[in-house]
Amino acid sequence: MINNISNILKTASVLQASSKHTATVIFMHGLGDTGRGWIDVMEMIQEKGNGHIKFICPTAPIQPVSINNGYRMNSWYDIKSLTSRGGENKHEVDSSKGIIENIISNEIENGIPSERILIGGFSQGCALSLYTFYTQKSTKLAGCLGLSGYMVLSSIFPELMKGTVNLNQPLRMFHGEDDEVVSFSWGQNAFETLKKEGANGEFFSLPFLGHSTCQEEYDLMTEFIKLRLPPQ
């Protein structure tokens, strides 16, 4: 995987700030999707009084995915099963974490303080955002949004997050109670593990929602972004 910033941004979908740029949201898509799949949601959030925010939706590298018989698709790391957690390759997860860290570093170099940068993601992208957020040892971020996700590398995650500067930074997680792809219990367990480790978060259960999103979720995401990244 090539992690230099010019290649990363070439495949990302970027929504520039519509007024003076003072904050950035980086949002990661799920398995088989691209950054383009989320840019409409980001536009909707930006239009609700968030013109000062730039939204970056990176696209995962194309690689073989075991649960799809080795078929190559956009994926942040290989997924071996949808019925049991674990088995992820730490090197692959760290490589994708490096992509997000490069975007963060680029934003900081362009004048946006790390505490004005918020990250989030959906499904596999949620797992990556949680991992990236809670393994930062010196880069304090504004917060994290996690939609319909789970804890990647769950057996070692609590150890890896020791010493994180983001333990007290706000987290907001969402999960559909009828999720047929990523079990509701996986999201709930991820949140409970994070809380046990001292994380500062909220978990929203969404009745009747499958592996998808809804307007209530968008409204709560917008509220969180406004709270964490107010205009300056």
Give residue-wise pLDDT tens across range 194-222.
Answer: 999 999 999 999 999 999 999 999 999 99
Residue 3 has pLDDT above 70, yes or no: no
Output the pLDDT for position 87: 79
CATH of 5-228, one of 3.90.1150.10, 1.20.1200.10, 3.40.50.1820, 3.40.50.300: 3.40.50.1820
Compute CA 65 distance to the chain's CA centroid, rounded to the nearest angstrom.
20
Q: Which of 18-27, 71-80, 82-91, 171-180 has the lowest mean pLDDT?
A: 82-91
Q: How far is CA 185 from CA 24, 60, 69, 128, 179, in A?
A: 31, 26, 26, 18, 10
Q: How far is CA 173 from CA 2, 108, 133, 199, 203, in A?
A: 30, 25, 13, 12, 5
* Sign (positive or negative) of CA dihedral 113, 108, 218, 149: negative
What are the tokens at 58? 């990176």
Residue 2 has pLDDT above 60, yes or no: no
Residues with catalytic function: 123, 179, 211
User: What's the mean pLDDT when you consider all of the chain?
Assistant: 96
Please state, in angstroms and rounded to a whole number, the distance separating the CA atoms of residues 133 and 127.
10
Give residue-wise pLDDT tens across range 10-68.
Answer: 999 999 999 999 999 999 999 999 999 999 999 999 999 999 999 999 999 999 999 99
Q: Where are the domains of the chain?
A: 5-228
Q: What is the pTM of this model?
A: 0.97
Output the pLDDT for position 81: 84
